[in-house]
Chain A
Amino acid sequence: MTTPLDHIRNFSIVAHIDHGKSTLADRLIQLTGGLQEREMKEQVLDSMDIERERGITIKAQTVHLTYVADNGETYQLNLIDTPGHVDFAYEVNRSLAACEGSLLVVDASQGVEAQTLANVYQAIENNHEIVPVLNKIDLPAAEPERIKAQIEEVIGIDASEAVPISAKTGLGIKDVLEAIVHRLPPPKGDIDGPLKAMLVDSWYDTYLGVVVLVRIIDGVLKKGQSVRMMGTNARYDVERIGIFTPKMIDTTELGPGEIGFITASIKEVADTRVGDTITDEKRPTAKALEGFRPAQPVVFCGLFPVDAADFEDLRAAMGKLRLNDASFSFEMETSAALGFGFRCGFLGLLHLEIIQERLEREFNLDLIATAPSVVYQIVMNDGSEIDLHNPADMPDVVKIAEIREPWIRATILTPDEYLGSILKLCQDRRGIQVDLSYIGSRAMVQYDLPLNEVVFDFYDRLKSVSKGYASFDYAITDYREGDLVKMSVLVNAEPVDALSMLVHRSQADRRGRAMCEKLKELIPQHLFKIPIQAAIGAKVIARETISALRKDVTAKCYGGDATRKRKLLDKQKEGKKRMRQFGRVEIPQEAFIAALKMDD
């Protein structure tokens, strides 16, 4: 039996990173009895190793709760816990599309942050009813009243009935459940209409293959039903159907307003399109849902195996990861410097870091990552356009009419005292200030920035100049023409393709100098002296020299020293293995990424 619409509530939990979404989800699961006490652990929905280690949510998770409210009625609550980090904004977006309401969690000691804004605006755009929740009121620094006022002032929503809670101690959780029932609207839908369901998410399960998360809009989805995905036009028979409590529980059908999963012998996640409309094969719905824009990779970098022999393993590993994460792309790349590898696209730097770490850990690979780059649009003299994912592939400059780069709109919230350094940072990164306002003693500033200036270490720099207090969110806005040049790096007179990058002409000298200095630190002394140069075309814009090793010898070596010396030599050889050979120069792997971390 399906649940009547007025006894269903669907909601997302949205918040800035670390404000306690997953912990609140724990409490809601616990209080409604979704899991037994012994099955509980902290942030139980963060099930990937990497989520648990880093204490962050990467993948949105859905849970079906059964709640007996104070009015004696039993409700079906479908909760979606979302990630807070900007790289995974698309996860939030599709979660919102599956719900009618949101719990906006705000840390009562920190207040509104950049992702609070970004996420709540998205919820508003999705016509959500929003219940503000003030979390962490157990903390001595919590100021629920002040934060309420802040929410009203900055976001412009009514916070007078915000629910004060501590997700940690469990205080106020019952109030949250009652607010969900009474303040969030039930879903709408027509149980007798032709089947119309939204494909919210899909992932790969080792045992079940592809699992699809669906939200039923109209009609009933049943086990064994023949369905069609309207976007991809693929036909499937529903094999299993069910819900997450968060345990996977099989049912026989899902009715309007309900959220659950199906499996249908789908081979790859790539065969499914998030946002697609699922309908009945024989009695299709007249109109498909609008769908979402697919998540586009915005940051690219090369990933190469340290040991060239691991190339095929790397390919297999990437294929496996992609089964589960269609937002990550890869295609083969050859580098004169690094050999065979892959050019990979990511949603952002955290995403890049996570994929790299998973490849290394789960597949036991040692990888070299090259400098992250954005996607440039190159307009050629003949009018044709090229998307440039890799600076090494830049066409001959004389054939180029124009280079365009992606720009973002960044929102930064910061305590007043760090504003000066933050403005300087944005200014140095070619930013254009759009807005500056105050929320009490916190400044909120908006900047338009070239993504190119942000991908590498902007976030690190921001954290360091604000002692960790500034928060940051961004969205790509448009492409703009830029005076961009390709800077190449020569080590011992040999160009190292993996170190070349596109930079704005006004930044070239500074970046070139910083790069040469950094490489001088990172490349060990050799038996000969090594010139390091940064150049634009044939023009050298910066240079450094690593002097030759002067003395490296052991004074005493007798019969008793052979073993020790041999072990030292083994270590030296190990060290050499982790270097890349360029002509006669050995460059440590870390150099490829570290060389770009500027300390300006």
Chain B
Amino acid sequence: MTEAARLPETGTAFGIYLHWPFCAAKCPYCDFNSHVRHQPVDQARYARAFVRELEHFAARTPGREVSSIFLGGGTPSLMEPETVGTLLDTVARLWTVSPDAEITLEANPTSVEADRFRGYRAAGVNRVSLGVQSLHDHDLKRLGRLHDAATARRAIGLAREIFPRLSFDLIYTRPDQTLAGWATELEEAIGMAADHLSLYQLTIEEGTPFHALHAAGKLVVPDEDLAADFYSLTQEITAKHGLPAYEISNHAAPGAESRHNMTYWRYNDYVGSGPGAHGRITERKVKHATIAERNPEAWLAAVEADGHGTIADDVLGRDEVADEMLLMGLRLREGISVSRYHALSGRSFDPDRFEYLVRDGLVERVGNDRVRVTSAGWLVLNAVIAELAT
């Protein structure tokens, strides 16, 4: 390992991520830490565990002001509003929460969950992110989703009434999808959207049923070339409607970006609590990467025994910090600050490689301190980062 990175003060953004690991059914493409339980989950007991783990992290991050809270999953909209209330109240008790904090809950758009929206709002949630995925019933079925398009539309409508801010997710480059079909679907989605959308190309994740089907040739998705065309088309349509990409898969009207997610990409600190949650917290100027036990019951037992479910707490070296900063920051339209990169990592870009990337139109300088990856570069970001990181 390299010496631990000495971090200069970085912005004030500080987020809390809470992971709710349960879902009503497992989607065949999903590799998130989500579990289906046939017995009812004892929410009160989990809430108590979250409280204990948050107390543990609060002790490690004294004096920090929380700028965002994100309830993610899994399916956090399976939580009772009281459970959400307990968690949010706990955060408020343990830290100072900024008055304009963004408090997001990830929700699945089934009717049962929509019924709880008002309760979540009352508990303090001010933004929802809905997992719509598609506006076509046929595709929703193939994706193994439990909702249909009509229900999703109603959920969007209701959420717009109840919450000050709303975003929803769509998955594209789905099996058998065409460019024309996507253009129509996307236009329709934009019509229903508020000022934020997440548009993800379907990733065939290892270990999922989709991966097995794909390997067996039974699931055909657009190839690299076509996927690149899908991406360009998406950029065009969203830009035309005033929702340009501020991150590779995230679109917003200026000012409507997700503050919580920006915390990740700008490589600021966040606490990660709950089964499988990851965190990045700076203690005595050193960045720690924390990982919690993934299995919900094992996490619960660990927290009840030790006050936290952390299974790994690594101090990141300068190189690791540098790599993460590139991996996260170059996903943003705003790019990264070269001086901050240099200060954190002690690394600078190889001038030859950098110039080639600029000449090939994959990377560009913005002002005198920022560097960003162009839209063309985003399509091959992994390779661009590998060039810049060596």
Using a CB–CB cutoff of 8 Å, the interface residues on chain A facing chain B are 526-528, 549-560, 562-563, 565-566, 568-570, 572-573, 576, 584
Whether A551 lies near B389 (C-beta < 8 A) is no
Residues of the A chain whose Cβ atoms lie less than 8 Å from the Cβ of B291: 563
- In this assembly, does B187 line the interface, its C-beta being within 8 Å of a C-beta of chain A? no
Whether A555 lies near B380 (C-beta < 8 A) is no
Q: Which residue of A lies closest to B171 (CB)?
A: A555
Interface residue stretch chosen among B34-42, B110-118, B220-228: B220-228
Q: Which residue of A lies closest to B328 (CB)?
A: A562
Residues of the B chain whose Cβ atoms lie less than 8 Å from the Cβ of A562: 264, 278, 280, 289, 324, 327-328
Interface residue stretch chosen among B57-65, B150-158, B178-186, B355-363: B355-363
Instruction: State the Cβ distance, B229 to closest chain A Cβ, in Å.
Output: 9
How distant is the Cα of A563 from the Cα of B323 in the complex, in angstroms?
Answer: 10
How distant is the Cα of A154 from the Cα of B15 in the complex, in angstroms?
Answer: 86
How distant is the Cα of A555 from the Cα of B276 in the complex, in angstroms?
Answer: 20
How distant is the Cα of A554 from the Cα of B15 in the complex, in angstroms?
Answer: 23
Interface centre among B331, B386, B389 (most CB of A within 10 A): B386
Interface centre among A557, A559, A584 (most CB of B within 10 A): A559
How distant is the Cα of A584 from the Cα of B359 in the complex, in angstroms?
Answer: 13
How distant is the Cα of A568 from the Cα of B386 in the complex, in angstroms?
Answer: 10
Q: Which residue of A lies closest to B202 (CB)?
A: A555
- In this assembly, does B337 line the interface, its C-beta being within 8 Å of a C-beta of chain A? no
How distant is the Cα of A569 from the Cα of B357 in the complex, in angstroms?
Answer: 18
With beta carbons under 8 angstroms apart, the residue of A552, A555, A566 that contacts B383 is A552
Interface 1/0 per residue, B132-168 and A, CB below 8 Å: 0000000000000000000000000000000000000
Whether B328 lies near A557 (C-beta < 8 A) is yes
Whether A556 lies near B249 (C-beta < 8 A) is yes
Whether B379 lies near A553 (C-beta < 8 A) is yes
Q: A552-B383, A553-B381 are known contacts; what are 4 more A-B pairs with Cβ within 8 Å?
A: A527-B380, A552-B382, A553-B379, A559-B280
How distant is the Cα of A563 from the Cα of B277 in the complex, in angstroms?
Answer: 12
- In this assembly, does B390 line the interface, its C-beta being within 8 Å of a C-beta of chain A? yes
Whether B389 lies near A573 (C-beta < 8 A) is yes
- In this assembly, does B320 line the interface, its C-beta being within 8 Å of a C-beta of chain A? yes
Whether A553 lies near B380 (C-beta < 8 A) is yes
Whether B203 lies near A550 (C-beta < 8 A) is no
Given contacts A527-B383, A569-B327, contact A551 B278 (CB under 8 A): no
How distant is the Cα of A572 from the Cα of B200 in the complex, in angstroms?
Answer: 24
Whether B379 lies near A556 (C-beta < 8 A) is no
How distant is the Cα of A403 from the Cα of B224 in the complex, in angstroms?
Answer: 49
Whether A573 lies near B278 (C-beta < 8 A) is no
Whether A559 lies near B270 (C-beta < 8 A) is yes
Whether A576 lies near B380 (C-beta < 8 A) is no
Whether A551 lies near B323 (C-beta < 8 A) is no
- In this assembly, does B126 line the interface, its C-beta being within 8 Å of a C-beta of chain A? no
Given contacts A550-B379, A553-B378, A556-B203, contact A569 B386 (CB under 8 A): yes
How distant is the Cα of A526 from the Cα of B362 in the complex, in angstroms?
Answer: 13
With beta carbons under 8 angstroms apart, the residue of A554, A556, A558, A563 that contacts B382 is A554
Instruction: State the Cβ distance, B99 to closest chain A Cβ, in Å.
Output: 23
Whether A560 lies near B381 (C-beta < 8 A) is no
How distant is the Cα of A346 from the Cα of B207 in the complex, in angstroms?
Answer: 48
Listed from nearest, the 9 A-B pairs whose CB atoms lie closest are A553-B381, A559-B264, A555-B200, A560-B278, A551-B224, A551-B228, A552-B382, A555-B201, A572-B386
With beta carbons under 8 angstroms apart, the residue of B227, B231, B323 that contacts A569 is B323
Whether A549 lies near B380 (C-beta < 8 A) is yes
Instruction: State the Cβ distance, B171 to closest chain A Cβ, in Å.
Output: 9
- In this assembly, does B17 line the interface, its C-beta being within 8 Å of a C-beta of chain A? yes
Residues of the B chain whose Cβ atoms lie less than 8 Å from the Cβ of A553: 248, 378-382
Instruction: State the Cβ distance, B315 to closest chain A Cβ, in Å.
Output: 13
Residues of the B chain whose Cβ atoms lie less than 8 Å from the Cβ of A560: 17, 19, 272, 276-278
How distant is the Cα of A527 from the Cα of B277 in the complex, in angstroms?
Answer: 34
Whether B327 lies near A551 (C-beta < 8 A) is no
Instruction: State the Cβ distance, B345 to closest chain A Cβ, in Å.
Output: 13
A–B pairs, 30, beta carbons within 8 Å: A527-B360, A527-B362, A527-B380, A527-B384, A549-B383, A550-B228, A551-B224, A551-B228, A551-B231, A552-B382, A553-B380, A554-B381, A555-B203, A557-B328, A558-B261, A559-B15, A559-B263, A559-B264, A559-B272, A559-B278, A562-B264, A562-B327, A563-B278, A563-B289, A563-B291, A565-B327, A572-B382, A572-B386, A576-B390, A584-B356
Instruction: State the Cβ distance, B73 to closest chain A Cβ, in Å.
Output: 11
How distant is the Cα of A556 from the Cα of B384 in the complex, in angstroms?
Answer: 17
Whether B320 lies near A566 (C-beta < 8 A) is yes
Q: Which of B60-78 contact A (CB under 8 A)?
A: none
Residues of the B chain whose Cβ atoms lie less than 8 Å from the Cβ of A559: 15, 17, 263-264, 270, 272, 278-280
With beta carbons under 8 angstroms apart, the residue of A550, A557, A568, A584 that contacts B380 is A550
Residues of the B chain whose Cβ atoms lie less than 8 Å from the Cβ of A557: 248, 327-328, 331
How distant is the Cα of A550 from the Cα of B382 in the complex, in angstroms?
Answer: 11
- In this assembly, does B80 line the interface, its C-beta being within 8 Å of a C-beta of chain A? no
- In this assembly, does B385 line the interface, its C-beta being within 8 Å of a C-beta of chain A? yes
Given contacts A563-B278, A573-B389, contact A551 B227 (CB under 8 A): yes
Q: Which of B334-370 contact A (CB under 8 A)?
A: 356-357, 360, 362
How distant is the Cα of A527 from the Cα of B378 in the complex, in angstroms?
Answer: 12
Instruction: State the Cβ distance, A456 to closest chain B Cβ, in Å.
Output: 33
